[in-house]
Amino acid sequence: MTAMPPKAILRLDGVSKSFGGVRALRDVSIGVAQDRIVGVIGPNGAGKTTLFNVITGAHRPDAGDVTFANRPITRWPAYRIVRAGVARTFQNIRLFGSMTVWEHLIVSQRHGGSPLRKMLPGRFADREAWGRAEDALTFFGLEKYRTALARTLPYGIQRKVEMARALTAGPKLLLLDEPVAGMNRDEADDLRALLLRLSARGLSILLIEHDMAFVMNLCHELYVLDFGALIAAGPPSEIRTNPAVLDAYLGSETAC
Ligand SMILES: Nc1ncnc2c1ncn2[C@@H]1O[C@H](COP(=O)(O)OP(=O)(O)O)[C@@H](O)[C@H]1O
Ligand SMILES: [Mg+2]
């Protein structure tokens, strides 16, 4: 296994998490270097989403430490971790069906002053919030969906709205839980290009994904989880031929 990156923006050291008798994470240590795109792969139930829940403060680990930008965030509440610069999307899309795309991008942001102000147009608007929303909208090519209600959007577009919303928080680290699930090949290729642009801008990305072609062509580094334990780490070229990985995952019929 490759060593922990020396200048990691995110580190997990010996993280364990159980739910009753289920050991979802067992002594997991990973690192995400600045500006890198790092993937987490593994069969269903391997503990991938739990890993994100621990990083974001949704779950507190039973053991181990989480460090973000040199600060120990293990016991921080979720809102503080977001403010420190960690944003995420969810495996099961979490949008409000009867809100427009634009409303999602505005309402999600933290604002000074009146919460009403952020929604108002013209000279009353929270101009910074509007600017961030506009940037995210444009970056993901969502302009034509600006006034569309979330529930009317195709699945691939909903995923992009979630990513755009995450971006409005101005994160340093973006966590994506199965971002191309439900996307066709063209949409996945388009997303790959967008994530590379974000990475080139200095954003660090940690993503969970089942789509092997996507992961192998995008990630600089991969971690492989199986039954809550890390069984391999390294660049895609190594992971592709790692016998333990092939055995646990790539060759398995349950992999999807
Ligand atoms: N909140 C929870 N309560 C109980 N069990 C959970 C919870 N979250 C995850 N698990 C269990 O932990 C294991 C890992 O789940 P998860 O992290 O969702 O895996 P993955 O994302 O790799 O498919 C599974 O056995 C799952 O049922
Ligand atoms: Mg999951």
| Residue numbers of the domain that contains 36 | 6-85+174-256
What is the whole-number distance in angstroms between the Cα of residue 49 and the centre of ligand 2? Answer: 4
Q: Which atom of ligand 1 is nearest to the CA of 50?
A: 17
Q: Which atom of ligand 1 is nearest to the CA of 91?
A: 21
Asked if the structure places residue 131 within a domain, the reply is yes
Q: Which one of 111, 137, 170 terminates a domain?
A: 170
Find the ligand nearest to 255 CA.
1
Find the ligand nearest to 47 CA.
1
Question: Nearest 5°: phi and psi at 113?
Answer: 75, -160
Find the ligand nearest to 51 CA.
1
Q: Ligand 1 pocket: which of 23, 41, 50 to mutate (most atoms <8 Å of CB)?
A: 50
Same domain, 81 and 178: yes
The alpha carbon torsion through 122, 123, 128, 132 (nearest 10 deg) reads 10
Which residues face 25 on adjacent strands?
17
Asked if the structure places residue 204 within a domain, the reply is yes
Same domain, 163 and 178: no
What is the whole-number distance in angstroms between the Cα of residue 204 and the centre of ligand 2? Answer: 20
Asked if the structure places residue 90 within a domain, the reply is no
Same domain, 16 and 66: yes
Same domain, 160 and 122: yes
Asked if the structure places residue 37 within a domain, the reply is yes
Same domain, 16 and 43: yes
Half-sphere exposure of 50 (CA within 13 A, CB side): 25
Q: Ligand 1 pocket: which of 19, 54, 208 to mutate (most atoms <8 Å of CB)?
A: 19
Same domain, 196 and 145: no
Q: Considering only residues 80 and 2, tell me which one the structure prediction assigns the higher pLDDT.
A: 80
pLDDT over 90, % of the chain: 72
CATH code, 252: 3.40.50.300
Residue with tokens 């992961």: 215
Q: Given pLDDT bands bounded at 50, 70 and 90, which one contains residue 250?
A: low
pLDDT tens digits along 172-213: 999 999 999 888 999 999 999 999 999 999 999 999 998 888
Instruction: Tell me the CA distances in angstroms from 99 to 102, 107, 136, 163, 182, one per residue in order.
Output: 8, 10, 17, 16, 21
pLDDT at 246: 84
185/20 Cα distance (integer angstroms)? 39
Q: In this predicted structure, which of 36-50, 121-135, 164-178, 236-250 has the lowest mean pLDDT?
A: 121-135
For residue 209, the Cα-to-chain-centroid distance in whole angstroms is 10
pLDDT at 253 over 70: no
Q: Given pLDDT bands bounded at 50, 70 and 90, which one contains residue 256?
A: very low
pLDDT tens digits along 100-147: 999 999 987 766 555 555 566 665 567 788 889 999 999 999 999 999
Same domain, 67 and 120: no
Q: Which one of 113, 138, 170 terminates a domain?
A: 170
pTM (2 decimals)?
0.91
Q: Which atom of ligand 1 is nearest to the CA of 228?
A: 14
Same domain, 195 and 144: no
What is the number of domains present in the chain? 2
Asked if the structure places residue 135 within a domain, the reply is yes
What is the whole-number distance in angstroms between the Cα of residue 169 and the centre of ligand 1? Answer: 27
pLDDT over 70, % of the chain: 88
Asked if the structure places residue 25 within a domain, the reply is yes
pLDDT at 109: 78
Same domain, 47 and 110: no
Q: Ligand 1 pocket: which of 28, 30, 49, 209 to mutate (most atoms <8 Å of CB)?
A: 49
Of 243, 235, 212, the residue nearest 43 (C-alpha): 212
pLDDT at 223: 97
Find the ligand nearest to 178 CA.
2
What is the whole-number distance in angstroms between the Cα of residue 150 and the centre of ligand 2? Answer: 22
Same domain, 196 and 242: yes
Nearest CA to ligand 1 atom 7: 19
Same domain, 140 and 191: no
248/223 Cα distance (integer angstroms)? 13
What is the whole-number distance in angstroms between the Cα of residue 4 and the centre of ligand 1? Answer: 25
pLDDT at 221: 96
Same domain, 192 and 217: yes
Q: Are 25 and 54 in contact (CB under 8 A)?
A: yes
Asked if the structure places residue 154 within a domain, the reply is yes
The pLDDT mean for the chain works out to 89
Q: Which strand ranges, in their side-by-side order, compose the sheet holding 63-68? A: 22-33, 8-19, 63-68, 71-72
For ligand 1, residues with CB inside 6 Å are: 19, 22, 24, 42, 44-50
Q: Which one of 129, 154, 170 terminates a domain?
A: 170
